[in-house]
């Protein structure tokens, strides 16, 4: 099943925003019992981007520690996955390339297919490394999820970026073949070009997600993948963490297994820790799940992990990875926890102001307030151009 060369995730780092809105504040505003959020959808808080943060600043912040550790010499490709893109033509990755000081001899592209995009980027990266094992590929998944105020989706918002260095002889997770694939034309979630906030049919999205779980698993097993019992854990896309539980329960049902609550928690419980307090990070979600699992679990050396990546509309993929011996020496557990703990709490009024704020489209000079304490910031929109700064 595995290819001749071991290729996979050599390093992984994530970043999130300056601010956080606890779901207790949202519940108080809505007059809602907080258990609807804490238990019903499995969310505790959501990351909120500062006025001077966007997918570029988050992506650069996630990738900077990887560059600091490994340098730039072997990176010849940057693949930026997002569904909250800032430009219809220019890749957000080009701005990150500049902020990080990467060499000019680099290809940079942006990939889009709802929340699935980062997995497409990972598979693209594996193909490039297989073709030329002397290079590494920087994959960045960065998103800010946004729904209408007072809508059902509001409580699932979030903001984060995950950066992964993909290369030969990986230090963290070896990605294995085959992949199970599934695509169906459904309108469960979409964002037309004229809208800042996404549109979502919540029940249709859950149905489409579960259909994709079944479809990808069927294709995966038909192509000779692992049996279900060979996996030690599963990383699902988490639009809200309770969805991972629904998805795994559906997979167990599909395979004729008992849907024991304790077994489901054992398989996915540790993957939800970061998503529960960050919220939906779209393309980054599955890999935040992986970060949480690697940072918390007992020794996973040699264990198989199942990945289910789902993007509305819809495209999905199921694939496997095996954890590499010595992986714990390369984790960024302390930095990841600091990224979450450093966020400053917002009250609902401040969150609402940030949510409603947008740049005028007149091409004027529109500086931002200096709010982020991070290394990278969006300083202004000037002459229709985004101006970034590095502190």
Catalytic residue from among 23, 53, 97, 115: 115
Query: Residue 237 catalytic?
Result: yes
d(CA 158, CA 279): 4
Give just the sign of the alpha carbon dihedral 276, 282, 286, 287. negative
Catalytic residue from among 18, 53, 83, 176: 83
Distance set, CA 278 to CA 15, 32, 44, 222, 345 (Å): 10, 20, 8, 36, 12
Tokens 């992964």, residue? 164
Query: Residue 53 catalytic?
Result: no
Query: Residue 83 catalytic?
Result: yes
d(CA 75, CA 198): 34
Catalytic residue from among 10, 23, 97, 237: 237
Distance set, CA 369 to CA 71, 141, 383 (Å): 32, 25, 18
* Residues catalogued as catalytic: 83, 115, 237
């Amino acid at each position: 099943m595995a290819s001749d060369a071991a290729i996979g995730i050599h390093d992984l780092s994530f970043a999130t925003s300056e601010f956080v809105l606890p779901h207790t504040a949202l519940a108080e505003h809505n007059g809602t019992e907080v258990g609807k959020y804490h238990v019903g959808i499995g969310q505790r808080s959501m990351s909120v981007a500062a006025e001077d943060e966007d997918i570029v600043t988050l992506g650069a912040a996630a990738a900077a520690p990887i560059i600091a550790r490994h340098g730039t010499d072997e990176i010849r490709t940057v693949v930026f996955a997002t569904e909250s893109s800032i430009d219809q033509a220019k890749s957000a990755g080009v701005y990150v390339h500049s902020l990080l000081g990467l060499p000019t001899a680099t290809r940079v592209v942006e990939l889009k297919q709802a929340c699935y995009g980062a997995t497409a980027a990972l598979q693209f990266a594996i193909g490039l490394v297989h073709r030329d094992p002397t290079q590494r590929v920087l994959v960045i998944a960065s998103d800010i999820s946004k729904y209408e105020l007072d809508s059902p989706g509001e409580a699932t918002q979030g903001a984060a970026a995950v950066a992964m260095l993909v290369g030969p002889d990986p230090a963290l997770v070896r990605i294995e073949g085959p992949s199970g694939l599934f695509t169906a034309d459904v309108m469960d979630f979409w964002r037309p070009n004229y809208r800042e906030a996404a549109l979502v049919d919540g029940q249709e999205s859950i149905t489409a997600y579960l259909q994709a779980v079944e479809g990808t698993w069927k294709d995966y097993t038909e192509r000779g993948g692992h049996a279900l019992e060979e996996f030690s854990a599963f990383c699902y896309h988490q639009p809200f963490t309770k969805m991972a539980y629904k998805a795994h329960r559906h997979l167990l049902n599909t395979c004729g297994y008992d849907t024991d609550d304790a077994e489901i928690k054992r398989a996915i419980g540790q993957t939800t820790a970061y998503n529960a307090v960050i919220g939906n990070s779209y393309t980054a979600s599955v890999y935040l799940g992986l970060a949480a699992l690697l940072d918390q679990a007992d020794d996973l050396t040699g264990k198989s992990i199942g990945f289910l990546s789902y993007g509305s509309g819809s495209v999905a993929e199921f694939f496997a990875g095996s954890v590499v011996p010595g992986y714990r020496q390369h984790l960024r557990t302390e930095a990841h926890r600091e990224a979450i703990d450093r966020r400053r709490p917002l009250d609902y009024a401040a969150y609402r102001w940030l949510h409603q704020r947008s740049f005028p489209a007149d091409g004027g000079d529109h500086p931002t307030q200096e709010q982020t304490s991070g290394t990278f910031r969006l300083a202004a929109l000037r002459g229709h151009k985004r101006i970034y700064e590095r502190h």
